[in-house]
Amino acid sequence: MTAADMKLRDQRIVLLGGTSGIGLATARAALAVGASVIVVSSNAERVADAVNGLGERTTGYTVDLKEQSAVRGLFEQIGPFDHLVYSAGDSLQTGALAGMDLDTVRQVFDVRVFGAIAAVKHGAPYLRPGGSVVLTSGVASLRPQRGWVALAGACSAMEGLARALAVELAPVRVNLVSPGLVRTPLWANLPDADREALFAASGEALPVGYVAGADDLAHAYLYLMTNRYITGQTVAVDGGGVLV
């Protein structure tokens, strides 16, 4: 355990989207260095599974992050805490804009962007001194592919949001992790064969030679929570994907 990791010992970390993928991996990493975690999802079964799997120093809440009143009530129940991590997101919605209903585009923004705004709005008053917020976007903002208009738009919005919040909420630190391709349930809407073909081809093209798992991303969140001299920054964790 490093000196930086020790800074999280006995601290409370709220993870919205903390029951699967990157959020769950970050919860595990935080527990390993002595923090307590509160995981939140709209899926009650995933919340129960996460709490059971993570074990001691873990509590969970089932909350629809699209409902502002529910988000406000969540933080009223939680009370004071030290760090807020937002990694919630529905399955990836891709496709050409010409054939995509605007309601689908709005759905991409509902959880990823407006859910994050609501979480920070209602969670920030409960952050203890020295606390932080770590948000999530994606390198689609830097290297969009065909059919990624909605996704790239939401990721770009999150980067601007993080910078603006770092100014508005100071001295609370606000940063953002921008993952590349990661093996998480967000890709579950693809057929198994197509998903594995995507991971294989992408891994061969990346400078690091493989597609990350969620654990590879978790350390970036802990770093942003513990480094008290970084704010308003976007940290890309993408295996060098924006380079190729």
| Nearest alpha-carbon partner for 184 in 32, 4, 22 | 22
Query: Which residues, in sequence order, are CB contacts of 81 under 8 Å at separation 6+?
Result: 11, 12, 13, 14, 38, 123, 126, 127, 128, 131
Q: Are 127 and 173 in contact (CB under 8 A)?
A: no
Q: Which of 137, 141, 178, 202 is catalytic?
A: 137
For the question of residue 36 being annotated catalytic, the response is: no
Q: Rg of the chain over CA atoms, in angstroms?
A: 17
CA 112 – CA 203 distance, rounded (Å): 26
Residues with catalytic annotation? 137
